[in-house]
Chains A and B, each alone.
Chain A
Amino acid sequence: MTVALIDTSTANIASVRYALTRLNAPYVLARTPADATGCDRLILPGVGAAGAAMKTLDASGWSDALRAERRPVLGLCLGMQLLFDWSAESGCGLLGLIPGRIERLDPGAAGPWPHMGWNALEEFRDGELLLEGLSPGERVYFVHGFYAPLGDHTVASASYGQRVTAIARRGKVAGCQFHPERSAGVGARILSNFLKGEAS
């Protein structure tokens, strides 16, 4: 079992690699779809702005490949947002694997923008593989200024002025708005749930 870590050339690649190493999960850094040939699941990491990340994915061939992908995919942080249709951040189209739009988060009186820190996971959808062994109220580390509003895709949420999609899923495509690689034991559990889940 090998994970393809899609190389979006963004800064959190190292933390995701180290998290996989701590879980004893073999991975390859996949700059192009061809690099992921022998892998049975994919992780799409990412930090930074949506527009720049989409340009990288378009140039490497990953945009087209992901739209035709049949293996399980897990997007992390910006990587989760890229799975949706459109982002208000750069006013740009995204991968379109999960219907919905990414909007700017308005925290209101909840605190400063962006949403940064440890927040509670809530409203678990029954049977969600990534949440196995976890309970509502457990905290994970968020850093984001844009968000996916709740929808059919929401399998866990968090609250920061708005109800925020914390984990999204549509079929084999899933994503975490937070950083499981920086979310201590809870994050490690979510990653290991993804790694042990059914592959293609």
Chain B
Amino acid sequence: MLARRIIPCLDVRDGRVVKGVRFRDHEDVGDIVELAARYSAAGADELVFYDISASPEARTVEPEWVGRVAQVIDIPFCVAGGIRSLDDARARLFAGADKISVNTPALENPDLVDALAAEFGSQCVVVGIDSRLNDGQWWCHKNTGDPTKSSQVPRRTLDWVAEVTRRGAGEIVLNCMDQDGVREGYDVEQLAAVRPDCPVPLIASGGAGAMEHFRDVFQQANVDGALAASVFHKSVIEIGALKTWLAGEGVEMRT
């Protein structure tokens, strides 16, 4: 049976890993390659690197560190942030990234998803979605890396998931903004609502604070993977212990 994935997310700014609360007030938590190697050795199933300043400031991720990460780790990793063209994606994939993830640029130019899937295959095209409840419905947000530019767009999250998977996205990372960084649990309600309409792997993001949160999101929302940052960076939860505990709770794990 396929294992559920535990995915540490490393938010990157200026070549360092940082972490903020609800996308604000980022603090430095370490060197990219050092943290990547540590998580890989600890049993992480996959890593996501997200250049949080890339979209708002129209900068691109430095492929240089993508190559350095690829040399060190022997698990899959995804690079997100600032990918606006086939060339941006190609540079990261050929530097050794296994997947690329697009968020704001896909909202601004949905055809980008089709083009990426046609050029590189759906298996390496991830669409990240920042989503928040407003007036009883979940809505997509763009430019969420910068609080001064972050804004809701007129697309319902459920519609957008259906559209991008039709356009060729091979995986969805759903970041539930109401929960992000506060460690009170994943947004099980929203993830469970998206699940039936998401024909590709669905990764939960935002809200992990305790081992029970991972169990709940796997068992109640049937997601394929769970992404978390601060609980791993701050050693609130140790990855090996988490996976052993989840396996004991009946969640299929690579231990």
Give me the interface of A with B, judged by CB distance under 8 Å. 11-15, 18-19, 21-22, 47-49, 110-120, 139, 141, 143-145, 159-160, 179, 181-185, 187-188
Q: Closest CB-CB distance, B202 to chain A, in whole Å?
A: 8
Partner of B5, one of A11, A18, A117, A182: A117
What is the bound-complex CA distance between A30 and B51, given in angstroms?
34
Chain A residue nearest to B4 in the complex (CB): A117
Q: Are B120 and A48 within 8 A (Cβ)?
A: yes
Q: Are B74 and A182 within 8 A (Cβ)?
A: yes
B107 interfacial by beta-carbon distance below 8 Å: no
Q: Which residues of B contact A181 (CB under 8 A)?
A: 74
Q: Are B98 and A12 within 8 A (Cβ)?
A: yes
Q: Which residues of A contact B45 (CB under 8 A)?
A: 117-118
Q: Are A118 and B224 within 8 A (Cβ)?
A: no
Q: Are B70 and A18 within 8 A (Cβ)?
A: yes
13 new A-B contacts, CB < 8 A, other than A179-B76, A182-B76, are A11-B124, A18-B70, A112-B202, A114-B122, A114-B123, A116-B171, A116-B201, A117-B4, A118-B3, A145-B122, A159-B1, A179-B98, A188-B74
What is the bound-complex CA distance between A145 and B28, given in angstroms?
39
List B173-188 residues whose CB lies under 8 Å from chain A.
Answer: none
Main DSSP-derived SS at the A contact region: mixed
13 CB-based A-B contacts, threshold 8 Å:
A11-B94, A14-B70, A14-B94, A114-B123, A116-B123, A116-B171, A117-B2, A117-B5, A118-B3, A119-B3, A179-B76, A181-B74, A182-B98
Q: Closest CB-CB distance, A82 to chain B, in whole Å?
A: 15
Chain B residue nearest to A188 in the complex (CB): B74
Q: Closest CB-CB distance, B218 to chain A, in whole Å?
A: 12
Q: Closest CB-CB distance, A27 to chain B, in whole Å?
A: 14
Q: Are A117 and B201 within 8 A (Cβ)?
A: yes
Task: Count contacts between A and B, CB distance < 8 Å.
Answer: 97
> Given contacts A114-B123, A116-B123, is CB(A15)–CB(B70) below 8 Å?
yes
Chain A residue nearest to B120 in the complex (CB): A11
Q: Which residues of A contact B224 (CB under 8 A)?
A: 111-112, 116-117
Q: Are B201 and A145 within 8 A (Cβ)?
A: no
B145 interfacial by beta-carbon distance below 8 Å: no
Chain A residue nearest to B222 in the complex (CB): A111
Q: Which residues of B contact A119 (CB under 8 A)?
A: 1-3
Q: Are A22 and B74 within 8 A (Cβ)?
A: yes
B67 interfacial by beta-carbon distance below 8 Å: yes
Q: Are B5 and A187 within 8 A (Cβ)?
A: no
Chain A residue nearest to B198 in the complex (CB): A112
B121 interfacial by beta-carbon distance below 8 Å: yes
Q: Which residues of B contact A118 (CB under 8 A)?
A: 2-3, 5, 45, 254
What is the bound-complex CA distance between A187 and B76, given in angstroms?
12
Q: Which residues of A contact B113 (CB under 8 A)?
A: none
What is the bound-complex CA distance between A110 and B222, given in angstroms?
12
B199 interfacial by beta-carbon distance below 8 Å: yes
What is the bound-complex CA distance between A116 and B123, given in angstroms?
8
Q: Closest CB-CB distance, B64 to chain A, in whole Å?
A: 13
What is the bound-complex CA distance between A12 and B224, given in angstroms?
23
Chain A residue nearest to B171 in the complex (CB): A116
What is the bound-complex CA distance between A117 and B93, given in angstroms?
18
Chain A residue nearest to B92 in the complex (CB): A11
What is the bound-complex CA distance between A107 and B65, given in angstroms?
36
What is the bound-complex CA distance between A176 and B98, given in angstroms?
17
Q: Are B2 and A111 within 8 A (Cβ)?
A: yes
Q: Which residues of A contact B1 (CB under 8 A)?
A: 110, 119-120, 159
Q: Which residues of A contact B3 (CB under 8 A)?
A: 117-119, 139
Partner of B123, one of A120, A139, A145: A145
Chain B residue nearest to A161 in the complex (CB): B2
